[in-house]
Structure 1
Amino acid sequence: MRIALFVTCFNDTLHPATGRAVVRVLERLGHTVDFPQEQTCCGQMHFNTGYRTDAMPLVRRFADTFAEYDAVVTPSASCAGMVRDNHPALAARYAPPALQQQVAELVPRVYEFTEFLTDVLDVTDVGAVFPHRVAYHPTCHSLRALRLGDRPYRLLSAVRGLDLLPLRDPEECCGFGGTFAMKNSDTSAAMLADKTADVITTVPDVLCAADNSCLLHIGGGLSRQGSKVRTLHLAEILAATEGDPR
């Protein structure tokens, strides 16, 4: 199976360790991962702010870059949701038939990281060791767009030494929403306050999620309140072998 990492522009710029963690986990499971240098943004920023036609060159580039791969794996539920839900819709409206077909053939091979582990590789125990108290925040795209369900919980439950703590209101949005946090800052701040209060009450050492964008938002709120709770992408926990006697 030819596997490609779609790291996303957000992770590549701000959280490159997450992409490296995905590769470490997959290599630990015996797979080789390619990183196509031609990859860029999936167009989510353009799409969400109404610049639909400006997103089309990025849709075409994504389709061309990853066309030859059997699986495209990304550590971003929001970008996976963009590709799977919105690339076909954009292509149907603005693209010629050839690109429409290319997008339609590629989209079923695009996976969020936890989906790929559980649904394609059929594994939950990836050999991780992480002896800390951890809470998981299901981001809106992972929860409502991709419907990841219990996949992240199953993977975290198999991590040796990890104490998985439930949030009180896990399905509540953190208030990030990309440009929503800037255009509706008061509402976003109120939503963030509810989410950080839930995290602080749960008392984890680490809060994890499938989207670093939401973790950046929540982590900023936690740090401004003086909380010592760290935020860490789920992939980085699954890549960890901390304290493993082997």
Structure 2
Amino acid sequence: MLKVAISGKGGVGKTTLAAILAYLFARDGYSVTAIDCDSSINLPSALGVKDVKPLSELREIIEQRVKGPFGIFRYNPKVDDVFENYSAINDFGVRVLVLGTIKKGGEGCFCPENAFLRAILRHAIFRDDVLILDMEAGIEHLGRGTAKGVDVLIAVVEPGTRAIETLGRIEKLAADLEIKKIGVVVNKYIDSPKVAELIGSISHPILGIIPYNQCFIQADLENLPPYRLCDLKPFEEIKKNLLRLGKQK
């Protein structure tokens, strides 16, 4: 089943896209798991669920599962029960998890929390669900082994010169992690010749273009999931193109 990671700079609309794609896949009968991998936790509320405990805070369980005798770490701790017990199911059946903070270089990369969280991601990759990962701007903390299980990396960009710079960084990270397929979603689109020229310069497949729309701000102000208020036609197109790209060899 399709495994998707969504990346882009902060505020570009990754979480909105992740939530609406999860909604559309679940509506169409797929089993869906959505994981918030961003340190600023927004995906649960965008999917209409509350009080999902970050898995990085399960300190006692992490100690029990990861640390073996003589201080040796287990690379593949048992996590399937944690996956079931510390997730929430929203009102249309999407399983929602919050990863929490993965430590990065200089903070002690190889630590129990990282081993545990990466085991969670590996477990998610091998489940027979559509998997949607709402990533931070960087995707390097996926780890190479987990990243190989990602079918498509979606780069969300806004129309502007910095979009190309952001896309370049995402391309490099994807190459380092051996992710083969990148699809681009242009968000907050405003029709103009310069924007059209910019989009025309993107070499990767354009999965879809989402016009600038105040409804996303309104949904946030009313604390409603965006799929309750906003036009879903652009997202339907993205979903269709995403499935097509995911099936390509």
| Greater relative contact order (CA < 8 Å, ≥ 6 in sequence) | 2
If each structure's strand is expressed as a fraction of its own residues, which one has the higher value? 2
If each structure's helix is expressed as a fraction of its own residues, which one has the higher value? 1
When the two structures are superposed, what TM-score results if normalisation uses the length of structure 2? 0.31
